[in-house]
Amino acid sequence: MKYQDSSGEHIILFGDSIKLLDQEIQDESIHLIFVDPPYNIGKKYANFIDKWPTEENYLLWCYSWLELCFKKLHPEGSIYLMASTQTIPYLDIYLRKHIHILSRIIWHYDSSGVQAKNYFGSLYEPIIYGVKNPKSYTFNRDDIKVEAKTGSKRKLIDYRKAIPKVYNSHKVPGNVWYFPRVRYRMEEYEKHPTQKPEALLKRIILASSNVGDTILDPFAGTFTTSAVAQKVGRKSIGIEIEEDYIKIGLRRLGICTHYNGNLLQKPLKSYQRNYQQLELFKDD
């Protein structure tokens, strides 16, 4: 099933990504692919349990959609792939044979809860960033610069230069990125176990695509990639197999107001419901 907005710039494909990548997406038409697949760690996504019988089965499944992603990627396109810390080494070896890896990124976040008591708990997720053609690809360095926490803050002079200058106050981020995870109280929160932050996708999309480019997310979840693409003037295609998440995408992208006759509404959070009740009884 295919849905699109009135401009035709944002497309939602409902179904299995391997089948839809193959059938619905033109070869070499995609400028940027962001892939955040199930991690094979037993998470529950609506009706789908993210666990394969063996690691080998899981890897073979990953290779089959990765192969299609390479086929759909524009000759000057870029791909960002997320995976679990235990799987990423295998995918890294596979990717090296097909694309040019430019960065191995760590998305680091903090957690108020206890991660592990008897070993060092995991507080990061790896992201591999690669391109088809290392001599020609998009990288908008000026759109993603961050404040440099070096000398410029302390107003130091960089004497390594022939003519000493103050340190640059902004720089291209390194490969360790800190973004808070999406929390219940955040405006962007949707009901999904592994929703990615808009800020993370914004950095990727601004860096590796231009206005009007098409961005593909084959495991769209809450359609974060498409929502950010829409905000920054790119086109998007998101594929998702679970109906609950398709409904989130349709609402988040403003594609339709109703689904099967029911209004698509963001559910109120518990504290919003409590507040609403307080408002109702205010004059009692």
Structure tokens at 222: 């809450």
Q: How near is the Cβ of 187 to ligand SAM at its closest, in Å?
A: 15
- Spell out the residues 6+ positions from residue 143 whose beta carbon is closer than 8 angstroms to its own: 206, 207
- Which C-beta is closer to ligand SAM: that of 41 or that of 172? 41
Give me the residues that bind ligand SAM (CB under 6 A), please: 16-17, 36-38, 45, 48, 192, 194-196, 219, 221-222, 224, 239-242, 245
Q: Which residue is nearest to ligand SAM (CB)?
A: 221
Q: How near is the Cβ of 123 to ligand SAM at its closest, in Å?
A: 18
- Which C-beta is closer to ligand SAM: that of 75 or that of 193? 193
* Largest separation between any pair of C-alpha atoms in the chain: 75
- Which C-beta is closer to ligand SAM: that of 74 or that of 192? 192
Q: How near is the Cβ of 166 to ligand SAM at its closest, in Å?
A: 39
- Which C-beta is closer to ligand SAM: that of 87 or that of 224? 224
Q: How near is the Cβ of 226 to ligand SAM at its closest, in Å?
A: 10
Q: How near is the Cβ of 45 to ligand SAM at its closest, in Å?
A: 4
Structure tokens at 229: 């693409």
What is the phi-psi region of residue 177: left when phi exceeds 0, alpha when psi lies from -120 to 50, beta otherwise?
beta
Q: Can you say how many angstroms the Cα of residue 45 is from the centroid of all Cα atoms in its chain?
A: 17
Angle between helices 198-208 and 224-231 (to 10 degrees): 60
Structure tokens at 266: 């963001």
According to DSSP, the β-strands at 235-240 and 214-217 are: parallel
C-beta of residue 77 within 8 angstroms of C-beta of residue 99? no
- Which C-beta is closer to ligand SAM: that of 43 or that of 145? 43
